[in-house]
Amino acid sequence: MNWSLERVETESFSPGFRNLIRNVARWRPQPGLLAITLLLALASLMTAGYLSTQAEVTLVLNGLVWHLRTHQTSVEAFLNEAGIEVYPEDIVSPDLAAPVQTGGTITVQQARLVTIEADGRAINLRTHTASVAEILHDAGIAVKSHDRVTVNGQETKPKAALPASTTLNPSGGPGASGLRGKSLSAEIAPLHIVLRRAVPIHVNDDGVPITIYTTRPTVGEALRAEDITLYLGDRVEPSLGSPISTGTRVYIQRSVPVAIAVDGRTIRTRTQRETVTDVLDQEAVPLVGNDRVEPEGDVPIADGMAIQVVRVKEAIAIEQDPIPFETAWQPDGSLELDQQRLNQEGIDGLTKRRIRVAYENGQEVSRGMEDEWVDHEPTTKVIAYGTNIVVRELETPEGVLEYWRKIRMLATSYSAATCGKEPDDPHYGITFLGWEMKKGIVAVDPRVINLRSQVYVPGYGPGVAGDTGGMIKGRHIDLGYDEDNLAMWYRWVDVYVLAPVPPESEIRWVLPNWPRERR
């Protein structure tokens, strides 16, 4: 087998080692084991020689560190091989012309690329300066107090520190390695500085003249930047969206605050109107009918004025009161005593009044009657009562008795000791008629049973109406007893009024209905 070294790459070797390689390449070995062995040895020798001639260098690029090996003999060649472009403003240590030292350190601090837009021109430069003010000063650009500076789109004070100077974008690793085929990078973030010149504008704020310097593009932005508060009711000329130019004159006509209380709410607004009526028109608050406003509509507007709108409404109300019907009693001989018949139902009449009611803000403030009339008269209730007296017989333990009236009554009982008088009272034990109290005397309401009338009470026996009492009213009978035979009563019974029948003038044809028996 024939071997040839003519195509062996020698560019990366040292000059002396390259001569050795060329001499070996001219040799034509004969086939055989010796030639192969000699060739392998030569390759090992070449590799060892290449590695032994490399210099190990530490590169510090913009603060980032690499450990590299190189065959370059100068700093400039080393940096070129690493793909690092060096500008005049960059700081390189040692100098570019200095030789590469094995174990040495090469430091490169690149200048930052800055683009400046100011006064209608653009300037590109590289710098190590730490503040915007110094960069602009180095570029020969003066910054006035009201000028506006932005860095990468963010507004910045000229003396403020710059943003971080490096954008980490490293290539390669920290271990020792060769440079061939590598491109190292630790880029510094570029800066874009824009300087906007402030221009003076003249502002007349409701008669107070002031001059401001602004970099803002419109009137509204310029006023807002100066913390000049504007309200919705203020008038600004030229308009807020108008562009700014040197010497622009701005006129502000201020509004005043007012509060309008209307319809249960308060409208807080600002106005330049002159009178109360004008402000109501501005806020579309109408006065309808008898509505009124306080203060009155022609009163001039004052700062902080409170306006009250009073809604006035009138309504007609119809009031009505019943006219109670009357009851008429008519005797009827066809009906037996204590029987009744309704001949005509009673109906209440009705009185009506027309009332005019005035309301202010929903609250009634007055009312007055305009007229009154009877809508319809009441209808009298007519009841017929019986006047036909029938005498009947009643069988009793005392014999057959005749009675002419039977009355359902509440029966109670009493004696001289329970009548409410002390024994030493001169009237103790004496009835209303002056009789001595004993069994057989009953107390009644004379409007129901005439005094001295003879009665019969089942379970009690015969009696005579000889007493009255403050609690004995209507259909209530109190049965008298002696002290030694008092029996307690409280129940409803039929009381029979015995014959003879009294004269018609002494008869109460219609008896009261109270007290009523509970069924």
pLDDT along the chain (519 residues), means of 10: 41 51 54 62 56 82 91 90 89 91 91 89 88 85 85 84 62 51 70 89 92 92 91 91 92 94 95 95 94 95 95 94 96 96 96 95 93 96 97 96 98 94 92 96 98 98 96 97 95 98 96 90
- Beta bridge pairs of residue 145: none
For the chain, counts of helices (H) and of strands (E): 6, 31
Distances (CA, A) of 170 to 61, 69, 105, 209: 10, 18, 18, 58
**Residue pair 132/193 in contact by the 8 Å Cβ criterion:** yes
Q: Amino acid identity of 208?
A: V
Q: Amino acid identity of 496?
A: Y
Per DSSP, 505 falls in state: G
What pLDDT is attached to residue 130?
Answer: 78
Q: What is the largest CA-CA distance in the chain?
A: 185
Q: Is the dihedral of CA 436, 442, 446, 450 positive or negative?
A: negative
Dist CA 402 CA 126 (whole Å): 147
**Residue pair 215/197 in contact by the 8 Å Cβ criterion:** yes
Dist CA 290 CA 313 (whole Å): 7
Q: Could you tell me whether strands 154-155 and 305-310 are parallel, antiparallel, or unpaired per DSSP bridges?
A: unpaired
Cis previous bond, 503, omega within 30: no
Closest by alpha carbon to 294, among 280, 313, 308, 281? 308
Here the tokens at position 216 are: 């803002």
**Residue pair 407/494 in contact by the 8 Å Cβ criterion:** yes
Dist CA 437 CA 469 (whole Å): 13
What pLDDT is attached to residue 165?
Answer: 63
**Residue pair 156/191 in contact by the 8 Å Cβ criterion:** no
Contacts of 107 (CB under 8 A, 6+ apart): 60, 91, 92, 93
Residue 278 is inside which H or E element, if any?
A: helix 276-282
Dist CA 242 CA 251 (whole Å): 13
CA-based R_g, the chain, Å: 65
**Residue pair 467/432 in contact by the 8 Å Cβ criterion:** yes
Q: At what angle do helices 33-52 and 15-26 cross, to 10 degrees?
A: 170
Closest by alpha carbon to 384, among 327, 325, 326, 329? 329
CB contact burial 405-443 (16+ within 10 A = b; e otherwise) = bebebbbbbbbbeebeeeeeeeeebbbbeeeebbbebbb
Closest by alpha carbon to 448, among 419, 479, 409, 500? 409
Dist CA 150 CA 153 (whole Å): 5
Q: What is the CATH number of domain 256-310?
A: 3.10.20.90
User: Cα 86 vs. chain centroid, distance in angstroms?
Assistant: 66
Class of domain 389-506: mainly beta
Cis previous bond, 500, omega within 30: yes
Here the tokens at position 431 are: 């009835």
Class of domain 199-253: alpha beta
Helices (H), 14-163: 15-26, 33-52, 75-81, 132-138
Please spell the DSSP secondary structure of 62-98, one letter per residue: TTEEEEEEE---BHHHHHHHTT----TTSEEES-TTS
User: Would you tell me how many other CB atoms lie within 10 Å of the CB of residue 253?
Assistant: 14
Dist CA 492 CA 458 (whole Å): 11
Dist CA 90 CA 67 (whole Å): 21
Class of domain 315-385: mainly beta
Q: Could you tell me whether strands 292-294 and 305-310 are parallel, antiparallel, or unpaired per DSSP bridges?
A: antiparallel
SS3 301: coil
Residue ranges of domains in the chain: 15-52, 55-197, 199-253, 256-310, 315-385, 389-506
Residue 42 phi/psi, 5-degree rounding, is -60, -40
Do the two domains 199-253 and 315-385 of this chain adopt the same fold? no
Distances (CA, A) of 296 to 95, 269, 277, 287, 308: 92, 19, 8, 12, 9
SS3 169: coil
**pTM of the shown model:** 0.48
Q: Amino acid identity of 320?
A: Q
